[in-house]
Amino acid sequence: MWVSVALETDAAHADALSDALLTAGAISVSVEDALAGTDLETPQFGEPDGVSNGVSTPQWSESRVVALFAPVDDLIGRISEACLAAGIPDLPEIELENVAEQDWVRLTQSQFDPIRVNQRLWIVPSWHAAPDPDAINLVLDPGLAFGTGSHPTTFLCLQWLSDTLRGGETVLDYGCGSGILGIAAVKLGAASVLGVDIDDNALMAAHDNATNNAVTLNLRHSREKLEEHFDIVVANILTNPLCVLAPLLTERIAPGGHIVLSGVLETQAKQVIAAYAPLIALKIGATQEGWVRLEGVKC
């Protein structure tokens, strides 16, 4: 049996509290956006140099710190000491939850079955046999980066790529995460694919996944310059960063090329369409479970 400990703090104390909890005996600590899923969530994606309008991309204003401990008698005391060590004099509200001992590897694997995108495209975790060996199979393991294919936004982008690519296209996958969209594009016949991300862990995952799929995926950190033009620009991120990135992404589309955006809720579609309107006309191409795929063609 383990004990999960969750408490909230601000951006200034999140890292220090994480370190202090590890020093206090936590076997793992994660930091999440306490406002995730609300209109106040803070996207961690900005311009390629990490700034937007001259302002650095902010950390989460309200962070949720989650630590996993072995059961101990003085757990609250340890947490209190960790808070003091992190410069938090008043003990925040603490959520405690017992976590049963489990085979975490087997449990995680059981949550990911092969996913059929359409008749010719499947996503297959490495521990599964391909249901259709004659199809295009993307071998992908869940990791630290987003993009296992199970989320509606990823699924919507994969459907578009499968329906649209004819072979020989150049593709930019901005915010590539695990590399799933770029890997799919290569397997669907793209001549070259560049994956860009702000997260080093995502780029490592994308590299490993490309190797496992025996494809070549060019990768670049978002801080590096991006000057090429592409037949297809795809970005599956979040509404706010997509709006910030509108000038950059539209500038990278070759004449007659396509842009495909997702990570957008149906209620946010008008906001993104309006942000891109001075640059390119977008329309809703498809919806799934409250999420939309936006599409446009550069004249």
> 52: which 2 tokens?
């937007």
Cβ atoms of 62 and 35 closer than 8 Å: yes
Alpha-carbon distance 30 to 26, whole Å?
11
- All CATH 3.30.70.120 domain ranges of the chain, comma separated, are 2-101
Report the distance separating Cα 275 and Cα 235, nearest Å. Answer: 15
Q: Does domain 111-297 have CATH number 3.20.20.120?
A: no
169-206 confidence digits (pLDDT tens): 999 999 999 899 999 999 999 999 999 999 898 899 89
pLDDT band at 269 (very low <50, low <70, confident <90, very high): very high
DSSP structure class, residue 28: E
If you average pLDDT over residues 143-156, what whole number do you get? 70
Indicate the pTM of the whole model: 0.66
Q: What number of other Cβ atoms are within 10 A of residue 199's Cβ?
A: 19
pLDDT at 40 over 80: no
pLDDT digits (tens, 9 = 90+) for 89-136: 888 999 999 887 665 555 555 556 788 888 889 988 877 889 999 999
Name the CATH code of domain 2-101 (choices 3.40.718.10, 3.30.70.120, 3.40.50.300, 1.10.8.50).
Answer: 3.30.70.120
Which residues, in sequence order, are CB contacts of 278 under 8 Å at separation 6+?
Answer: none
- Mean predicted confidence (pLDDT) in 246-270: 97
| pLDDT range class, residue 72, cuts 50, 70, 90 | confident
- Nearest-angstrom CA–CA distance, 296 and 259: 5
Write down the H helix ranges in the chain: 11-23, 75-85, 104-110, 152-164, 180-187, 200-212, 239-244, 246-251, 269-276
Listed in order, the ranges of the chain carrying CATH 3.40.50.150 are 111-297
Take residue 148 and report the two structure tokens written for it: 């296992």
